[in-house]
Amino acid sequence: QQQVKQSPQSLIVQKGGISIINCAYENTAFDYFPWYQQFPGKGPALLIAIRPDVSEKKEGRFTISFNKSAKQFSLHIMDSQPGDSATYFCAAQFRGAGSYQLTFGKGTKLSVIP
């Protein structure tokens, strides 16, 4: 059972365009939703995160939109740059108790072309 579904699998965007990646989750116990960026040969690095009590969070060119009723959230990368080319993972976490383990989506490979 895949608890976090991510789409699209790959995305090609022109420089300066907007990249949009979508995720949906099933477990309503999740209460924290981070996005990770991973470059080849590197471990995932936290990009931005949101809690379900807000509908949007913006940090620089990166924005998370969150729809609690639909159990969906998305990452928007404004003014996409070639340096943004990487694999992006959405994740979900339950922070009430326990291990705080992350449940990841399958990833989106973003290519930003000049």
Partner 1 sequence: DTGVSQDPRHKITKRGQNVTFRCDPISEHNRLYWYRQTLGQGPEFLTYFQNEAQLEKSRLLSDRFSAERPKGSFSTLEIQRTEQGDSAMYLCASSLRAPKHTEAFFGQGTRLTVV
Give the interface with partner 1 as residue ranges (CB under 8 A).
4, 6, 34, 36, 41-46, 49, 89, 91, 95, 98-107
In angstroms, give the least distance from the CB of 56 to partner 1. Answer: 20
In the bound state with partner 1, the residue whose beta carbon lies nearer, of 42 and 68, is 42
In angstroms, give the least distance from the CB of 16 to partner 1. Answer: 28
In angstroms, give the least distance from the CB of 62 to partner 1. Answer: 15
SS3 95: coil
Rounding to the nearest 10 degrees, give the CA dihedral for residues 107, 47, 43, 103: -50
The region that residue 26 occupies, defined by phi over 0 for left and psi between -120 and 50 for alpha, beta otherwise, is: alpha
